[in-house]
Amino acid sequence: MKTTFQVKHAVGGRMFLDTNKEAVPYTLTPQGEGWLFTVHVPWSEKIAELLAHKQELNVFIFKEFEDQPTLKTWYYIKDGPVEYDTDQESLTIAADSRIEYYPHEYSV
């Protein structure tokens, strides 16, 4: 199974992080009624831009299987905190809801 992690600007669609383009270690941990992403990434202008739009982020995980359709999970950030720890070089993103679906069911 191949897994892709992406962080996008919900309004303009700008891609901030995409593991298809660069290796970015991350973890996903259930937290209360939501989920916490911890992303290990050095500080950059891209991270500064991401933080400037932290109220407008969507996080996606695509799971591509050899024997079944791709499963997409769309995590909504809403008011969840998005923070960067310069000492740890880690970005944390809290999501409070998600939707799982198969993209092929919605193609035109």
pLDDT of residue 4: 96
Of 51, 44, 46, 38, whose CA–CA distance to 17 is shortest? Answer: 46
pLDDT of residue 108: 59
pLDDT of residue 59: 97
Of 72, 91, 92, whose CA–CA distance to 80 is shortest? Answer: 92
The answer, yes or no, to whether residue 63 has pLDDT greater than 70, is yes
The answer, yes or no, to whether residue 80 has pLDDT greater than 70, is yes
The three-state secondary structure class of 56 is helix
Q: How many domains does the chain have?
A: 1
* Structure-derived torsion over alpha carbons of residues 22, 96, 55, 36, reported in degrees to the nearest 10: -40
**Predicted TM-score of the model (pTM):** 0.90
- Domain extent, residue 76, equals 2-106
The answer, yes or no, to whether residue 98 has pLDDT greater than 90, is yes
